Amino acid sequence: MTLIDGKAIAEKIKAELAKKAKTVKRTLAVILVGADPASEIYVGNKVKACEQVGIKSVVHRFDEKISRDELCDFIEKLNRDHSVHGILVQLPLPAHLNDPMVYRRVSWAKDVDGFHPANVGYLSLGEVESHIVDKPFIPCTALACLECIKSTGVPLKGAHAVVVGRSNIVGKPVAQLLLNHDCTVTVAHSHTKDLATITRQADILVVAVGKKHLITRDMVKKGAVVIDVGISRQRDVASGNASRIFGDVDFENVKDVAAYITPVPGGVGPLTVAMLLKNVLDCGE
């Protein structure tokens, strides 16, 4: 088994991005509504990462009671601001703003999260690299998964990839990316019957559900590439009831079956941030 070290891969990518940032000046605007502790941490990490490579970032903080119209008006203002190249709306939003039409107000050309229907459409059409006006964006976690897989050197063409999870943020874009790289792709989800039979067919297995140890040793094909995207925080009896982060894959039992596997944490997560930085620097190209 070879561990896919997301941190090491991310550092190499960030070093290359830092070189580009010396000549390509970009500004990222981050919108943070409310004071969710997890969101504060995520935004802080993104700001720190921007500083590391030389990207300017500006965090716009709003009270959780801001109205839908007020927030949308501010997003439109950023869309028109030529000094802002990328816009990120930190999720989750408060319940009254939890409407796709809010973050879809972000111009697709500044949508570094890759959630705008236009960006989703270009990915689906396989036209991410060939679009001639502005470069469309792919969701950062999906890009991170692809980088993890590419780092193994395992050929994608003709490989059977199984993606467990069908979210718009990870599952669907990962499946589309792999399809665009000539994989044969199966998407499994909560209604899939006999999941183990499906996952055991995978040369490449990507799991993005958020359910602790959903994937066990008997569900993995020997020699497979296993990408664990899921994160759940639970108390661990073995660690004296301390809070721990778990992945969707039972790492300790699966690692001896897989040829390559990502750890949680330290796998897809660091690369997701690196891919965000790449998207920001690609703005306007």
- Give the residue range(s) of CATH 3.40.50.720 domains in the chain: 141-269
Q: How confident is the model at residue 238 (pLDDT cuts 50, 70, 90)?
A: low
- pLDDT value at residue 103: 83
Is the confidence at residue 267, as pLDDT, over 60? yes
Q: 65-82: per-residue pLDDT in tens?
A: 999 999 999 999 999 999
Choosing from 14, 110, 111, 113, the catalytic residue is: 113
In the β-sheet with 27-33, what is the strand arrangement from edge to edge? 56-62, 27-33, 86-89
Choosing from 46, 110, 135, 221, the catalytic residue is: 46
Mean of pLDDT over the chain: 93
- Give the residue range(s) of CATH 3.40.50.10860 domains in the chain: 25-107
Q: What is the mean pLDDT of residues 227-246?
A: 78
pTM, 2 dp: 0.93
139 is written with which tokens? 């969701």
Q: What is the mean pLDDT of residues 250-255?
A: 96
Active site residue 150: no
Distance CA 260, CA 273 (A): 21
Active site residue 221: no
Q: 3-27: per-residue pLDDT in tens?
A: 999 999 999 999 999 999 999 999 9
pLDDT above 70 coverage of the chain, percent:
94
- pLDDT value at residue 99: 83
Distance CA 270, CA 11 (A): 9
Topology at the third CATH level for domain 141-269? Rossmann fold (3.40.50)
Q: Which CATH number fits domain 25-107: 3.40.50.1820, 3.30.390.30, 3.40.50.10860, 3.30.70.1450?
A: 3.40.50.10860
Q: 92-144: per-residue pLDDT in tens?
A: 899 999 888 888 999 999 999 999 999 999 999 887 655 445 678 999 999 99
Q: In DSSP terms, which residues pair with 242 in a beta bridge?
A: 236
- pLDDT value at residue 54: 97
Active site residue 113: yes
Q: How confident is the model at residue 153 (pLDDT cuts 50, 70, 90)?
A: very high
- pLDDT value at residue 45: 93
pLDDT above 90 coverage of the chain, percent:
84
What's CA 180's distance to the chain center, in Å?
17
Choosing from 14, 90, 111, 250, the catalytic residue is: 90
Is the confidence at residue 241, as pLDDT, over 90? no
Q: Per DSSP, which regions of the chain are E strands?
A: 2-3, 27-33, 56-62, 86-89, 160-164, 184-188, 204-207, 225-228, 232-236, 242-246, 260-261
- pLDDT value at residue 285: 64
Distance CA 128, CA 109 (A): 12
